[in-house]
Amino acid sequence: MRSLPAAAVLALAALCCTPLAADPLGACKPDAAPPNATIGCLDNGRFQIEATFIDTNNEAAPVTRNAHVVPLVADGVYLWFYTADNPEVFVKVLDGCALSGTYWIFAAGLTNVDNTITVTDTLAHVTRTYHHAAGPAFQPTQDTAALPTCP
């Protein structure tokens, strides 16, 4: 049986998931609060949500900043960029294991600000990253094959 060249394996792996480089559990821990307001923990710490945005307001040059993450429900958070009373993006991770063998990631935005959302499965040690460019309205993320990390 022939195997794929290493470069092909790496390219295919990059399409799916990126391994965690640091703490294998990430910042989210079961039954613990998130370590700060820029990290959201879903499903009892199983999934970690982080985001950045490009701030072009009142700066000589654009600056990358961390979004603030606010928990909504066990499987969803919202992000705010500039002020706490202005939600910009809603993100949720759903258990689609019974239907597709994957966890699903959905995001809906009320913004046209450049942003990047990172979802980490802290048990499987993988991440998915979604970038939304500045200018056009936020296009929804509906990734029903996001994390093939079901038990």
Count structural domains, the chain. 1
Residue 8 counted as domain residue: no
Residue 39 counted as domain residue: yes
At 26 the pLDDT is 66
Low-confidence ranges of the chain (pLDDT < 50): 1-24
At 52 the pLDDT is 98
Give the domain range for residue 133: 18-147
The CA distance from 74 to 119, in Å, is: 15
Query: Do 15 and 121 form a contact (C-beta atoms < 8 A)?
Result: no
Query: Do 63 and 54 form a contact (C-beta atoms < 8 A)?
Result: yes
At 22 the pLDDT is 39
Residue 49 counted as domain residue: yes
Query: Do 35 and 29 form a contact (C-beta atoms < 8 A)?
Result: no
pTM: 0.81
> Would you call 107 helix, strand, or coil by DSSP?
strand
Of 96, 92, 89, nearest in space to 115 by CA: 89
At 10 the pLDDT is 34
Q: How far is CA 141 from CA 22, 42, 107, 117, in A?
A: 26, 17, 5, 10
Phi-psi category of residue 16: left, alpha or beta, with phi > 0 → left and psi -120 to 50 → alpha: alpha
Residue 4 counted as domain residue: no
Residue 131 counted as domain residue: yes
At 34 the pLDDT is 74
Residue 137 counted as domain residue: yes
Residue 9 counted as domain residue: no
The amino acid present at 18, given as its one-letter code, is T
Residue 11 counted as domain residue: no
- Cβ neighbours of residue 87 closer than 8 Å, sequence gap 6 or more: 70, 78, 79, 80, 110
- Lookup: tokens for 97: 């294991």
